[in-house]
Amino acid sequence: MAARPRMRRRPGRRARAVLTALVVIAATSSCGVTRGDDNKDIAMWIPNSAGGGYDQTGRAAVAVMEQDDVTGGNFEVTNILGAGGSVAMTRLMGAQGDEHTMMTVGLGVVGSLYSFGLEDRVHDATPLAQLIEDQEGVLVPADSPYQTIDDFVAAWKKDPRSIAVGGGSSPGGPDHLFPMQLAETVGIDPKDVLYVPYDGGGPLTSALVGKKIKVGFSGLGEFEGQLESGELRALAVSGEERLERETLSEIPTLTESDIDLVFTNWRGVLAPPGISDKRRDELIAYLQEMHDSPEWQQALEKYGWTDAFITGDDFATFLQEQDDRVSSTLEELGLI
Query: Which chain residues interact with other proteins by CB under 8 A?
Result: 1, 9-24, 50-51, 78, 80-83, 86-87, 90, 114-118, 161-162, 164, 170-172, 194-197, 199-203, 205-207, 209-213, 224-226, 228-229, 231, 330, 335-336
For 13, phi then psi, to 5°, come to -60, -40
Instruction: Compute the Cα dihedral for 90, 96, 98, 99 and give only its sign.
Output: positive
| Rounded distance between C-alpha atoms, residue 153 and residue 234, angstroms | 14
* Interatomic CA distance for residues 283 and 301, integer angstroms: 24
Contact status, residue 110 vs residue 270, Cβ threshold 8 Å: no
> Which of 77, 78, 75 lies closest to 40, judged by CA?
75
Q: How near is the Cβ of 52 to other proteins at its closest, in Å? A: 10
Query: For the range 245-252, what are the long-range contacts, defined as Cβ-Cβ under 8 Å and sequence gap of 24 or more?
Result: 245/304, 248/220, 248/224, 251/137, 251/220, 252/149
In the complex, minimum distance from the CB of residue 171 to other proteins, in angstroms, rounded to a whole number: 5
Nearer residue to other proteins within complex by CB, 28 or 34: 28
Task: State the minimum distance, in angstroms, from the CB of residue 205 to other proteins.
Answer: 5
Of 118 and 308, CB closest to other proteins: 118
| Nearest distance from C-beta of residue 138 to other proteins, angstroms | 18
Closest to other proteins by CB, 164 vs 310, is 164
CB of 203 or CB of 273, closer to other proteins: 203
Nearest to other proteins of 55, 99 (CB atom): 55
Q: How far apart are CB 164 and other proteins at their closest, in Å?
A: 4
d(Cα 213, Cα 167) in Å, to the nearest integer?
10
